[in-house]
Structure 1
Amino acid sequence: MTEIARPPAAGRTFGYLALVGATLSWAGNYLLGVIAVAETDPVSLTWLRWLLAVVPLFVIAQVVERPDWRAILRSWPRLLVLGLIGVAGYNLLLYAALDTETPFQLSLINAFNPALIAIAAVLFLGARLGWRGIGGILLAFAGVFWIISGGQPLTILDHPPKIGSLVMVGAIVAWTAYTIIGRTGPRLPPISAVAIQGTFVVLALTPFVLAQGLRLPETAAGGWSLAYIAVFPSIASYVLWNYALQRVPPAQAGVSLNLITVFTAIATVALGMPFTAPQILGGVLVLAGVVLAQERPKGPALPLAR
């Protein structure tokens, strides 16, 4: 019992390394997504991403989880809803937002997602939020409002934010709904569940791809970006995340999601991409608020499939 409750130090170390790998791969979805979506479109990119990812996910699920596929498929209506809201909805909105905003700006808005999930958990799951949580959420909200307004919150009506920032807010709302719904109903093997959700996304988007036409990447950079998105954010991150959750406390895993913004910020500086003082200040406020609001959940970790 002791070994199960407290993994060996080496196991915890590998768990933390897995968290770093997962969040680094998810950060790449922002950085390379802007290249891929410029040569395709949000629908084509999302469809291609999951078309390439679902077969490897099924293979990995069979090897790692050995699921009862018939039992899982009995929950197909719920998996369909989850796939359309989270796996499809979040990514379609993210890639649409990348048309008008920088990856760094969008990653800063995404950093507010844990705080938004905490609010939704109070409203829909009966969770409790202490004063520390309330203060952290308010601080994070002030930070994201500062980012969206470009550091001019009092003049936001005169200078409305770019549509990409507003679309990204819609993306984190979709992911919040995906997360809350994922905490209800039967508990399913996570990799198997996301493999089925990805399959539903491919099937649901196929008519739209046929109607508008499939846009493939036109350059080597676009092709490699698509390959990265199909392999790392879609497959590797999810496997690494679930490996880490077996060895790292869920609260610490939740805080690690802030590394997505940190890695995106580092890449922004390293690649010479533009950033502004309001983004830096707002990002600090968001991250500080999310860390302050972190609770130690007693239930299972929240689902992730970025």
Structure 2
Amino acid sequence: MGKGKAIPAWVYKAAIVVATIIWGYSFVAMKDVVSVLPPAWLLGFRFTFAGVLLTAILWKRVRKAFSGRMLLAGAALGLADFMAFWTQTIGLEHTTPGINAFLTATYCVIVPFLWWIVAHRRPTVFNIGAAVLALVGIWLVSVQSGGMTMGYGEAMTLLCALLFAVHMVLVSKLSRFHDVLALTAVQFVAEGCLGFVFGTAFETFPGFGVFTPGIIGQLVFLALFASIVAFGIQNVALAHIPPAQASLFLSLESVFGVLFSIALYGEQITLRLLVGFVLIFAAIVISETFPLKKKTGAQTGETTD
């Protein structure tokens, strides 16, 4: 604790930016892997490897925290996160990494409304304004210029944003009763098992011939860096800086997703997409920043550091 407090807050914020760079690149990495490996199978291999490795690293901690209730809580988190990643990966098959990254980031706007349902804490006027901005941005990004219908990839990505919001609310509730890092290890294992179950039931395994050195390298990156390292950075940083500030920095994931998509995937940025991206990002900033300022020193039960 003492040593942790000696580290300036900007170090943790910089660490979060590193995590968002990793996650931003992961959109492009998943686009490459999902072109040869169906979504559920991809998640099965990614999270099984991440779960086994994290459990081995945290074995004493996991064993100490393990119980039937902890296993059930970790499985619930795994189910929510798996469904979010599965729909996100399906969406990525049918849209570009940049659009997938930005639409995924709208979970920051959804969370306050889900928290209202769970904790009966009404969202502020800033949350409502952010939601309207996000809807306009989503329309510009998602709806094809020639019609009023939303593409399948964009619709699945929006569903994944809702599921990620559900997962975040579950984490905030369950982490009060269980070791969050041990829960993360159980969650990863559960997600990996669900990937293999869903893959067997709904998809066709393409065979081990698709595991070229390049695909294996991308899978290792997704499991080791995009899962274990990035989530580890996020959890440590959240213990030292206010959650709303951390969420604002975490939203940079979508920005790096677009930048990597432009640089490596060849995505074309039009004025329509750019305006949509700006509106969605503005909605995230408003939703995460202004409510914090309004609540500072007020009746909220959360501390502001």
Cα RMSD (Å) of the superposition?
2.6
- Picking from 10, 15, 22, the partner of 1:18 is 15
Tell me the CA shift for residue 94 of structure 1: 1.4
Amino acid in the other structure paired with 1:75: M
Counterpart of 1:196, as a letter, is: V
Aligned to 2:213: 220
Q: Distance in 1 between matches of 2:200 and 2:126?
A: 50
Give the whole-Å Cα distance in 1 for the aligned partners of 2:140 and 2:218. 31
TM-score, length basis structure 1: 0.85
* Structure 1: stretches of 5+ with no match in the other structure: 302-306
Q: Is the 8 Å Cα contact of residues 150 and 279 (structure 1) preserved in structure 2?
A: no
1:36 aligned residue: 33
CA contact (8 A) 1:67 1:189 kept: no
Distance 1:108 1:290 in 2: 10
- Counterpart AA for 2:286: L
Preserved CA contact (<8 Å) 1:143 1:283: yes
Distance of 2:30 and 2:110 partners within structure 1 = 24
Task: Give the total of aligned pairs.
Answer: 290
- Whether the 8 Å contact between 1:115 and 1:137 is mirrored in structure 2 is yes
Partners of 1:242 and 1:264 lie apart in 2 by 21
Match of 1:75 in 2: 70
- Aligned match of 1:61: 58
**2:122 matches 1:122:** no
Letter of the aligned partner of 1:254 in structure 2? S
- Partner Cα separation in structure 2 for residue 177 and residue 300 of structure 1: 22
Aligned match of 2:154: 165
Say if 2:243 is the partner of 1:245: no
1:179-190 maps to which residues of 2 (within 5 A)?
Answer: 179-185=168-174, 186-190=176-180
Structure 1 stretch displaced more, 285-294 or 212-221: 212-221
Q: Is the 8 A contact 1:150 1:278 kept in 2?
A: no
Alignment-mate amino acid for residue 132 of structure 2: L
The CA distance in 2 between the partners of 1:184 and 1:281, in whole Å, is 36
The normalised TM-score by structure 2 is: 0.85
Match for 1:241: what amino acid?
Answer: Q
Structure 1 contact 90–172 (Cα < 8 Å) conserved: yes
Is 1:203 equivalent to 2:196 in the alignment? no
CA distance in 2, matches of 1:14, 1:33: 29
Q: Over residues 267-300 of structure 1, what are the superposed CA-to-partner deviations in whole Å (9 max), with x where a residue is unaligned?
A: 2332332232222111100111111122338549
Larger helix percent: 2
Q: Deviations over 1:75-107 (max 9, x none)?
A: 322322221121x11111111111110000111
Q: What is the match of residue 141 of structure 1?
A: 135
Q: Taking structure 1 as reference, are residues 40 and 20 closer, same or farther at Cα in structure 2, changes over 3 Å only?
A: same
Letter in 1 for 2:135: F
Candidates 45, 49, 52, aligned match of 1:52: 49
| Residues in 1 aligned to 2:92 and 2:115: alpha-carbon distance in whole angstroms | 28
Kindly tell me: are residues 66 and 91 of structure 1, through their superposed partners in 2, closer, same or farther at Cα, counting changes over 3 Å?
closer
What are the residue-to-residue correspondences of 1:288-303 with 2, within 5 Å?
A: 288-294=282-288, 295-296=291-292, 299=302
Q: 2:87 aligns with which of 93, 98, 113?
A: 93
Provide the residue aligned with 2:5 in structure 1: 7
Partners of 1:166 and 1:300 in 2: CA distance: 36
Amino-acid identity (%)? 21
